[in-house]
Amino acid sequence: MILTAVQSQTILNPQLEIAGGRKLSGELRVSGAKNSALVLMAACLLTRDTIRLRNVPPLTDISAMGEMLRSLGGTVNHTADGIELNGNHINNSTAPYELVNSLRASFFCIGPLLARMGMAKVPLPGGCQIGTRPVVEHVKGLKALGAQVTIEHGVVTAVVPGRGHRLTGGRIYLDCPSVGATETLMMAAALADGETVIENAALEPEVVDLAGLLLAMGARVRGAGTPTITITGVERLHGADYAVIPDRIEAGTFMLAAAITRSHLRISPVIPEHLGSVITKLEEAGCTMQHDGIGLTVKADRISAVDLRTQPFPGFPTDLQAPFMSLLATAQGTSVITENIFENRLQHVAELQRMGAAIRMQGNTAFVEGVPQLSGAPVQGTDLRASAAMVLAGLAAQGITTVRGLEYLDRGYAGLEDKLNSVGACIERVSANPALVNVAA
């Protein structure tokens, strides 16, 4: 019985049941980028006008960011394919702990909130499953723009001293190319008095997408996508209507679904420049790919081992390390995978081993010896991308795999099982405790 979308929302303690070993065929549609949409939503704090964002993915993280903005006095309305945001009545510069704690990206509001209000109190986002997730660079950069920043009782309080509450442009050097710090500081600098230069900035496409929105709002930003971003502050920013880029991590996950099932799929839309390292690694592993200007076709018959080292963009993305490991667990030969970005992003290894994967760990490196066949088993998604990795492994495994941890999966993938079922997968969202199923009438 395939539950309707409404019913699937009322499943208590949900898990995915995956019947593996099926070939996929057809086309998978890529949604808007979660890691872009979240920061573009925060930018609405910079103006009193309305921001219309299109191609926004329907994810729990997006809803959480909406709640954050509402708690600050913003209005957030969902439209047919996106969100309409208005920051005219922002009247609160204190972000609630429970919202920041549930969604790390909401910490990025500190930059625009400070630029708009002259003050911001935002709880530290804290660590999560994959690492401690510090915000040292964000704080250091705000101080370089003239803010007084203190951290007490787990709350970051930033204040612009003196009259006028306006930040002052300055030179910032990031010790590491932090995506969130780059984005936070771009937004803060957009309304500052004078010029800001961010050195060692993150190069990710989501940073470039934020620059695109800021420019559409009347900001003066140069160099996004390069290590040096220059922002000349303006007095005020106006509204904009802006489309979010496609989600390169979802697209990469779909490419890996084709590869792990040895299938032929078309995935669109895909911006190849956003996935250069992933495309290269999949070709190295034996996939053939063709981009037709909008979408990418992926064909896979035989998969060989490749080595991966996660790096900041344009290096191999840490967000696809776990999904790619599922593929390499079924490859011919032994792959060496090194996670260089987060200190605790290899927890999916134990779950893959439950499915028969032959993986040996040494520090932040996994030695993955491909096996002819994974076997279905009950497994747990330990973070967003690890949950996706377990779904991919289930597609290839012999027998039934049940994946728990959908509270992580639903943060980053909109209707993953529906999309995969539309190209031939057999996945059902069920309650882990059938007696608890509360199916809507």
Give how far the C-alpha of residue 133 lies from the chain's centroid of Cα atoms, to the nearest Å: 14
Residue placing its CB nearer to ligand EPZ in the complex, 385 or 419: 385
Contacting range for ligand EPZ; rule: CB under 6 A; set: 48-56, 132-140, 218-226, 238-246: 132-140
CA distance 61 to 65: 6
Residue placing its CB nearer to ligand EPZ in the complex, 151 or 176: 176
Contact 265, 257 (CB under 8 A): yes
Place of tokens 């509001």: 109
Tell which positions 20-79 bind ligand EPZ, by CB under 6 A. Answer: 35, 38
Residue placing its CB nearer to ligand EPZ in the complex, 303 or 414: 414
Residue placing its CB nearer to ligand EPZ in the complex, 55 or 318: 318
First to last CA, the chain: 14
Q: Which of 126, 134, 218, 225 binds ligand EPZ (CB under 6 A)?
A: 134
Contact 118, 159 (CB under 8 A): yes
Residue placing its CB nearer to ligand EPZ in the complex, 227 or 424: 227
CB 318, min distance to ligand EPZ, A: 5
Counting DSSP H helices and E strands in the chain, the numbers are 15, 23
CA distance 39 to 141: 17
CB 383, min distance to ligand EPZ, A: 7
Single out the residue of 270, 286, 318, 241 nearest to residue 82, CA to CA.
241
CB 408, min distance to ligand EPZ, A: 9
Residue placing its CB nearer to ligand EPZ in the complex, 42 or 190: 42
State the binding string over 352-381 for ligand EPZ (x if CB under 6 A, else -): ------------------------------
Contacting range for ligand EPZ; rule: CB under 6 A; set: 1-9, 134-142, 264-272, 323-331: 134-142
Give whole-number Cα distances, 177 to 156, 205, 206, 227, 302, in Å.
21, 13, 13, 8, 36
Asked if 131 interacts with ligand EPZ (CB under 6 A), we say yes
CB 129, min distance to ligand EPZ, A: 9
Tokens of 10: 């009322």
Contacting range for ligand EPZ; rule: CB under 6 A; set: 74-82, 172-180, 239-247, 398-406: 172-180
CB 12, min distance to ligand EPZ, A: 25
Asked if 326 interacts with ligand EPZ (CB under 6 A), we say no
CA distance 321 to 217: 35
**Quick check: is 176 catalytic?**
no
Single out the residue of 36, 3, 82 nearest to residue 417, CA to CA.
3
Tell which positions 173-232 bind ligand EPZ, by CB under 6 A. Answer: 176, 178-181, 202, 206
Contact 15, 403 (CB under 8 A): yes
Q: Looking at beta carbons, which residue is closest to ligand EPZ? A: 180
Conformational region of residue 26, where left means phi above 0, alpha means psi within -120 to 50, and beta covers everything else: left
State the binding string over 83-112 for ligand EPZ (x if CB under 6 A, else -): ---------------------xx-------
CA distance 113 to 43: 9
Which residues, listed in sequence order, are joined to residue 266 by a DSSP beta bridge? Answer: 27, 297
Asked if 319 interacts with ligand EPZ (CB under 6 A), we say yes
Q: Please tell me whether the peptide bond between 269 and the residue prior to it is cis, using omega within 30 degrees of 0.
A: yes
CB 398, min distance to ligand EPZ, A: 29
DSSP assignment of 41-85 equals: HHGGGGBSSEEEEES----HHHHHHHHHHHHTT-EEEE-SSEEEE
Asked if 135 interacts with ligand EPZ (CB under 6 A), we say yes
Task: Indicate which residue of 44, 109, 128, 287 is catalytic.
Answer: 128
Contacting range for ligand EPZ; rule: CB under 6 A; set: 83-91, 126-134, 231-239, 394-402: 126-134
Residue placing its CB nearer to ligand EPZ in the complex, 34 or 429: 34
Residue placing its CB nearer to ligand EPZ in the complex, 138 or 266: 138
Q: Cα dihedral sign for 54, 59, 63, 69? A: negative
Count of residues interacting with ligand EPZ (CB under 6 A): 25
Helix axes 248-260, 276-284, angle to 10 degrees: 10
CA distance 361 to 368: 9
H or E, element range at 395: helix 384-396
Asked if 258 interacts with ligand EPZ (CB under 6 A), we say no
Q: Which residues bind ligand EPZ (CB under 6 A)?
A: 35, 38, 104-105, 131, 133-138, 176, 178-181, 202, 206, 318-319, 341-342, 384-385, 412
Catalytic residues: 128
